[in-house]
Structures are given as C-alpha cells and as structure tokens.
Structure 1
C-alpha cells in the first residue's frame, strides 16, 4: 500500500512537472506569436508570418530592395547633375564605392567607366585626398590646379562637390568685364543725350 502511494505521488509529481513545463512552453510560444504579430503590425507587413526566420528573411530582402532603389536614385541624381555641369561624387561607406558625374570625371581625369563608379581606394590621387578630408570645405592644390572641395556627410554616405577656383575667378572677371562693357555702351549714348538735352534747355 505504501509502495502504491509512493508510486502515485511520483506520478502526480511528474504530471505536475510536465504540466508546469507544458504551460511554460505554451506561454513562450504565445509570447513569441504576440511579438511576431506586434512586429508585423508595427512594420506594416500584410503577410502573416509563422516564425521569426520568415520575417527576418523578408526584412533582409526588403532592405536589399531599398538599397538597390537608393543606388538607382543616386545614379539618376548624378545624371541630373551631368546636365547641370556639376562636378559631384557620392561615396557609399559600406560598399566603399565612389559614384560620380561626368563633370567630376572630366575634372579629375577619371575615365568615364560604365556606370561611372570606382572603389575610392583605386581612385588615383583624389581618392586619398577625399578619404582624409578633415573639414567640410577644403582647398587643395594638385599641380597647377587649385580646387575647392565641399563635403556633405551623412551616416552611411558622403557627397563631394569640386570647384575649380581659377576657372571660377576667371568667370567672375569675365562677368565684371562684360558688366563694365555693357555699362560703358549704355552710358555713352546717355551722356550724349544728356548733353543734347542741356543744349536744348539752354536755348
């Protein structure tokens, strides 16, 4: 009789332990499903995921799609900058790739690669200058050229805008000369008219 009571108490204890373990597993699964459902709602995902692996895989694919979309957007922007004749380049820190406009290629002597991108470390002379920049705007001299480099930084990327200082100064001189010449051409007939009107007033 005592043996059967001991056996019965062992069975009850084991059943209770299994019940506790089962309840704990049920609570964990329930919490995971609730967390998964919360993530789906928070991220705005319409698909009903059964586990984290499916969700993680979809998120990785979505991230890749968005990254490709960003790369295409940058290429489109660089094409727009081509029409504006801006010497501009985009450096993606993670991919370590420098994408550049055709004006930037002409300015720096880069060959106009298909797709116009190059590893910044394979970019002769300018690559090391750009990666070692300490200020957001810096004037550098390469040979006889004086170049102003403007840097616009983000968390994962950076834009560089190059300006030829000597060409800019020459353009400013041409504008001043043109303004002076136009003013002289306008002023000469005005002086004649002013003198003629004074003669008429004196008569």
Structure 2
C-alpha cells in the first residue's frame, strides 16, 4: 500500500494541472477529467462534476484499476477511458482530458483522424526528436455509452501501439505521459498544433 503522502503529491499535481488548463480556457464549466497512477496501481482521479479551475484535495479521489471507487467518491463517468490507458501502457503515469476549443473544432473539420507532421513542436511529445515526425490522432464519435466507446478506443490501440492522443468528436481530447508534468506538456503542445491545423484549414477559433 502506498503512503498517503504519495496520494497527496499526485493530487496536488492534478490540482496544479487543473488550474493551468482552466486558465487557458481548455476546461470550461465542469468539463474534463484528470488522473494519475500511484505506485501500487491505484488511481487518483478527479471527482465527477468538479470545476477544474478550483480543484482542492477533496476533489481528488481514489479508484482501483477497474475504475471502482475506493473511498466513496463519485468518479467521472469517463473513468473507464483512463483505466484502459493504464492497462494498455504500463509506463503511463497520468492521463489528462481537456475539452479544448481547437480539439473540439478540429473534430468538426476532420473525419476519422487528424495528421500532424513537419511541426517543430512535435518534439514536445515523448519519444519524438525531429520535426519530420508524423503523428496520427484518431477521432472517435462521441458516445454516452462509455463502455462501448472504451472498447472502440481499445480496438484501435491494439493496432496502433504508438498512439499518443485521441479526440472524441464534439467533446475534447485525451493524452497521457509518464507523469502529470509530461502529460501536461502534451496537452499544451497538442492544443497548439490543433489550433494551427484549424487555422490552416480556414476555421480560426475565436
């Protein structure tokens, strides 16, 4: 069993990430959800319905690897999308899901996927060291049946083990990293690149 101090450390990192992401307008109202994996496999995750710009320690709860509450809190309805990523990628330590304007808009502009290539900022993504990289971000249709949506994402990941992010149409995007800090870097880089793609294709966000 991990110490309570480890949980508090991850909770504080998620709180800080929430403040950063909200300040940039990427989690309006009570949208979005964030999580971090503890060393014993349990997951610290934001409580359902909490405003991400005003997160406090009591807004971070614990779930097991199957997404079941361990402390009586109510996790996000999308918890299964987090736990599936932790199962798939043992090196993932955090998952962040903003509802950013550019990711949401780009899902209206593109169908199936958006391809990011020849951008210097691709080097902000883990494992990429050249602008000549090509990153495919799939776009899945929104679905209130999270188990069904999770299965669709898992089927895609089975054939694309190098996946770094995905978009849910009209909704937002998921990305992850070995730590909250790394996942947050991915959020910032991807939102910038999504913004450039929408501008490039003539749909500049307001």
TM-score of the two chains, using structure 1 as the length reference: 0.33
Greater share of helix: 1
Structure exhibiting the larger radius of gyration computed from Cα positions: 1
TM-score of the two chains, using structure 2 as the length reference: 0.33
